[in-house]
Every structure is written in structure tokens, then in C-alpha cells.
């Protein structure tokens, strides 16, 4: 591969994953990414993004690099019965702690396909630590990662989380469906 192909590949993976933090300063490297299990087990991606911390939200995928990265292992299923009441604040705290560390960490939040569980956990972080409503966070995330699609069960739980964080519901399912 030529250096331009390597450079293009790095830019492509940055775009495919998600630049969640530092978006107001595009020249800054991303420190929070959202992706799939296959991306999380690709050492080239982990190395290119300088990932230091991983939230593994899959039911069965093992932590790919446990000797070199710090993991939060949440065994979550993408279904109507999965309860996120403990996972949302746990993931949010883990992400925030990693990003505020000295030196600052870089976090990858992943599930199997990078669409539902990882998005729900990333949304919880944005709501809690950026103080955004669920609707604002969801719209912002979808602009940057079009495949963002938390299942309806997760959306309902995020609405409850929003109410816990802000003292009232700022978003409705109807708002989200528009």
C-alpha cells in the first residue's frame, strides 16, 4: 500500500466509526468512537484510533485485547427484554473517567453491529455529560453515524434515563419518530 492509501484508510475508519468528542474542533483527534465487534477486534483500527478503553456491549464477543486495553464488559442483548438500568450510568461513568484521565484516554463503545446497544450507551453518555436531551443527542449521533438505531426498548429506557437526569422528560417517542 502507498502512504496515500494508508492515509485514506485511516480517514475512512475515522468516518466509519464516529468522532463523538472534540467535534467543535475538527483538527483534534476523536476520543470517543462507536463501532461493531469486528471493528473492535481489528488491531489496525484500534491502533490507528489510539484506543485505550473499550466498552464491550455484546452478549458473546470476547474482549479482543485484554492485555493492552482497559475494558468495561457489559453482557447485553439487543432485544425487548434487556434491562439497561445499570448499564447506562456504568458505561457513562467509565467513558467519562477514561476521557478525563491524564493522559486522556480514547474510548471505543461497541456491540455486534454497532447500531443499537453501542448507540444507546453513547447516547446515555452524551445526555449525562454533555447535558443534552435524548432527542438532541440522537439527532447529533445520527448525523455522524447514520446507522445509529437503538431498538424501541432501549429508546424507552433512555427516555426514563433522561427523566432521571433532568427531572422531567424532554423528549417523547413521537419526537424521535419524526
Q: Determine contact, residues 178/142, Cβ cutoff 8 Å.
A: no
In tens, the pLDDT along 106-126 reads 999 999 999 999 999 999 999
Cα–Cα separations (whole angstroms), residue 122 to 4, 9, 86, 126, 164: 32, 24, 14, 6, 17
Pairing of strands 53-56, 70-73: parallel
For the 3-177 domain, the top CATH level (class) is: alpha beta
Question: Which entry of 34, 70, 111, 147 is annotated as an active-site residue?
Answer: 111
Q: Kindly list the domain boundaries of the chain, sorted by start residue.
A: 3-177
Residue 155's contacts (CB-CB under 8 Å, 6 or more residues apart) are 120, 134, 173, 176
Nearest to 39 by CA among 75, 14, 68: 14
pLDDT at 24: 34
In tens, the pLDDT along 46-104 reads 999 999 999 999 999 999 999 999 999 999 999 999 999 999 999 999 999 999 999 99
Question: Is 111 labeled as catalytic in the residue annotation?
Answer: yes
Confidence (pTM): 0.85
Amino acid at each position: 500500500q502507498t502512504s496515500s492509501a494508508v492515509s485514506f484508510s485511516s480517514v475512512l475508519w475515522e468516518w466509519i466509526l464516529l468522532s463523538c468528542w472534540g467535534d467543535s474542533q475538527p483538527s483534534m483527534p476523536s476520543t470517543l468512537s462507536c463501532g461493531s465487534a469486528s471493528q473492535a477486534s481489528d488491531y489496525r483500527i484500534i491502533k490507528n484510533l489510539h484506543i485505550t478503553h473499550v466498552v464491550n456491549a455484546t452478549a458473546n464477543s470476547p474482549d479482543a485485547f485484554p492485555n493492552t486495553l482497559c475494558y468495561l464488559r457489559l453482557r447485553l442483548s439487543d432485544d425487548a427484554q434487556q434491562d439497561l438500568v445499570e448499564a447506562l450510568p456504568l458505561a457513562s461513568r467509565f467513558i467519562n473517567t477514561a476521557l478525563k484521565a491524564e493522559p486522556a484516554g480514547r474510548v471505543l463503545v461497541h456491540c455486534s453491529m454497532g447500531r443499537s446497544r453501542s448507540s444507546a450507551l453513547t447516547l446515555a453518555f452524551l445526555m449525562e455529560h454533555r447535558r443534552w436531551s435524548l432527542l438532541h443527542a440522537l439527532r447529533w449521533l445520527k448525523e455522524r453515524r447514520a446507522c445509529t438505531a437503538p431498538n424501541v426498548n432501549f429508546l424507552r429506557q433512555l427516555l426514563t434515563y433522561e427523566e432521571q437526569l433532568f427531572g422531567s422528560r424532554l423528549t417523547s417517542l413521537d419526537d424521535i419518530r419524526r
